Structure 1
Amino acid sequence: MAGCISVRGTPSSLSFRCSSFVSPALSLQLSRPQRVHLTPRPLVVCPLAKRICQMTGKKRNNGYKVSFSNHRTKKLQQVNLQHKRLWWEEGKRFVKMRISAKALKTIDRKGLQQVAKDNGIDLNKF
Structure 2
Amino acid sequence: MFSLIVGNRGSGKTKMLIDMANERAKTSNGTSIFIDADKSHMYDLPHNVRYISTMDLPLQSAQEFFGFICGLMASDYDLENLYIDGLKKTMKGSMDEIAENIKRVEAYAEVSNVKVVATVTCEMEEIPEELKKYIKE
Compare the two structures and name the one with the higher helix fraction.
2
Q: TM-score, normalised to structure 1's length?
A: 0.21
Q: TM-score, normalised to structure 2's length?
A: 0.20
Compare the two structures and name the one with the higher strand fraction.
1
